Amino acid sequence: MVNTISHIGIGLLLAYALGLKGRKRLGLVLLSIIPDLDYFSYSLFTLISGSVSHEARNQLFYLLGHREFTHSVFFAFIIALLIWLRTKDRAFAFGGFQALFLHILLDYTTIAKMRPFYPFSTNESALRAIYPFDPVINILPLLPVFIVAAEYMKNRGKWSLEIKDRWKIKSTGRWPFEGKDSWSIKNRDILNRKLSGLKKLNGLKGFHGFVNRNEGKFYASFIIILLVWTTVFPVAKVFLTDRISRAEGTEISYNDTYPISIGKFLAAYSYDDTRYKLLEVSYWSGVEKSFYVEKVNVRGDVPDASAYAERAGKLYSNSVPQAIDYPVYSISEKDGAVTVILSDARNPYVKKWPYFDTVYRFVFDRESGEYEVYESHYGRTEKKLENNYFE
């Protein structure tokens, strides 16, 4: 999950690297954020999802949900093909595909589960190898935004670097400062600050000139750095996950690991019938911490608690999206109603935008067998879900 401004910066990087100008440059910038327009389509989905069948709801979610169809390689290909058919410009069509693809890739390497091969496959996956607040993928793309701002200042005449234009010092035999025969300390400080400002402006102008002279290579090198960075961590995690799996005597899911800070991720697996084992792993030093989480927690006397946990699990398995990979059930009963709270085992151990912090509260009426389901997401107010969400 990379911030929108950085996505815009990547569009600018591509536009400069390909030598695009004018409307085509602006077009690439817009294309770099098009996948996130699914925020609007998801709003439409929430309005109509409760009035359709369960099967229709799932299919609509694949098309309109956030980080769904618009974050697929097929979507990027279709948009690039439409650009080519419209403009017959290879560079622009190629740049459009790259802008969309890099947006998808950066989101895919951070935390978001997506369906990158939809509609050919509805399987969810995510590399989850790079911390979403990683400075390289969030700050590096901002460089072209800075340069565009500098170019705008230059074109508007903000860089007037000659002393005679900034300070109209009259030839009166002395400087127009306090005192007749000498400068005061205050005046010297004022002059030094102005001279310092000139040096900074000259440095900015020199940097801008260097960029203009080496435009294509300069921006292409930043794209290469981003691609290398988004390759190194996923590959390193392959070897690290395999090594830990062998040490633990089990197979740890690469897809279900989760970055918790720069250079660290959280892994989990089912240790036995009643517990999960969670591992805090560093790219540099391997496993640093490990702890266990109970799969089922029963509060009070609920003799058939496991049956209700199983029913809640089956209902949840029919829904989309599948944010919970390691389900934990907290079961209680009051006034003839059995409550099952379903959450992810990793949720309490990850701070700052965990992707799996959705909590479901199933309330089953023991006598009638009917149920209601409530969802809380990202700490927001709990809301009731329609039954077509699950069946």
**DSSP states of 266-312:** EEEEE-SSSEEEEEEEETTTEEEEEEEEESEEE-S--TTHHHHHHHH
Distances (CA, A) of 333 to 112, 241, 267, 366: 35, 40, 32, 9
Distance (Å, rounded) from C-alpha 344 to C-alpha 97? Answer: 36
Question: Would you say how long the chain is, in residues?
Answer: 391
What tens digit of pLDDT does each residue of 341-352 get?
Answer: 999 999 888 877
Q: Tell me the pLDDT of the chain (391 aa) as tens digits.
A: 577 888 888 888 888 888 888 899 999 999 999 999 999 999 999 999 989 999 999 999 999 998 999 999 999 999 999 999 999 999 999 999 999 999 999 899 887 789 999 999 999 888 888 888 888 888 888 877 777 776 666 666 554 444 444 444 444 444 444 444 444 555 555 545 554 544 444 444 554 554 555 565 777 788 888 889 889 989 999 999 999 999 999 999 998 899 988 889 999 999 999 999 999 999 999 999 999 999 999 999 998 999 999 999 999 999 998 889 999 999 999 999 999 999 999 988 887 777 788 899 999 999 999 999 999 987 778 999 998 999 9
Distance (Å, rounded) from C-alpha 35 to C-alpha 71? Answer: 6
Whether a cis peptide bond, with omega within 30° of 0, leads into 135 is: no
- DSSP-derived letter for residue 326 is S
Check residue 305 and give its pLDDT: 95
Pairing of strands 371-376, 327-334: unpaired
Check residue 173 and give its pLDDT: 46
Q: Are 32 and 102 in contact (CB under 8 A)?
A: yes
Token pair 């996130």 is found at: 36
Instruction: State pTM to two decimals.
Output: 0.80
Q: Are 54 and 318 in contact (CB under 8 A)?
A: yes
**What is the distance of C-alpha 284 from the center of its chain?**
24
Q: Are 10 and 145 in contact (CB under 8 A)?
A: no
Q: Are 275 and 255 in contact (CB under 8 A)?
A: no
What tens digit of pLDDT does each residue of 264-277 get?
Answer: 999 999 999 999 99
Check residue 209 and give its pLDDT: 55
Q: Are 308 and 338 in contact (CB under 8 A)?
A: yes
Q: Where are the domains of the chain?
A: 4-148+216-228, 296-389
Distance (Å, rounded) from C-alpha 48 to C-alpha 55? Answer: 13
User: Going by C-beta distance under 8 Å and a sequence separation of 6 or more, which residues neighbour residue 274?
Assistant: 294, 295, 296
